[in-house]
Amino acid sequence: MSKADERSTSMTRCTADFCLIPIGGEDGASVGKYITECQRVLAKTGLEYKMHGYGTGLEGPWDEVMNAIKACHEAVHKMGCPRVATDIRIGTRIDKPSSLSQKVESVEKRLAANNFAH
């Protein structure tokens, strides 16, 4: 199999954005303690991640990313939360390396080229 063929069929890396939603926890609408624990779980994975206001961006090998999200679910359940729902968006790219920071930088460069200030 040629390198091009390998690239066209390989999804070894992915970028993901996920929003973990604890449901029925003892603190009612407050979810901060659960999200804090998820960030601790992610820190132990060695994967690249960045929390934002409504979720976390995560990147790395497909299986490791999926296992990290699973570990977050397990940690929240272990804290006594009876239900956890998660919205996940996953992207893969086989034509060239890609990262979450590269995606942001690409847009920021385009904005700067048009003298856009935020």
Answer whether residue 87 is part of any domain.
yes
Tokens of 117: 């200030």
What is the spatial distance between Cα 18 and Cα 2, in angstroms, rounded to a whole number? 34
DSSP H or E segment with residue 32: helix 32-45
The verdict on residue 118 lying in a domain is no
CB 20 within 8 A of CB 72: yes
In a domain, 43, yes or no: yes
**Structural domain span for residue 86:** 3-113
pLDDT in tens, 44-71: 999 999 999 999 999 999 999 999 999 9
Q: What are phi and psi of 117, to 5 degrees?
A: -115, 135
The answer to the question of residue 49 being in a domain is yes
pTM of the model: 0.81
Q: Domain holding 103: CATH number?
A: 3.30.70.930
Kindly state the tokens that stand for 33: 């303690």
Domain membership flag for residue 42: yes
**How many independent structural domains does the chain possess?**
1
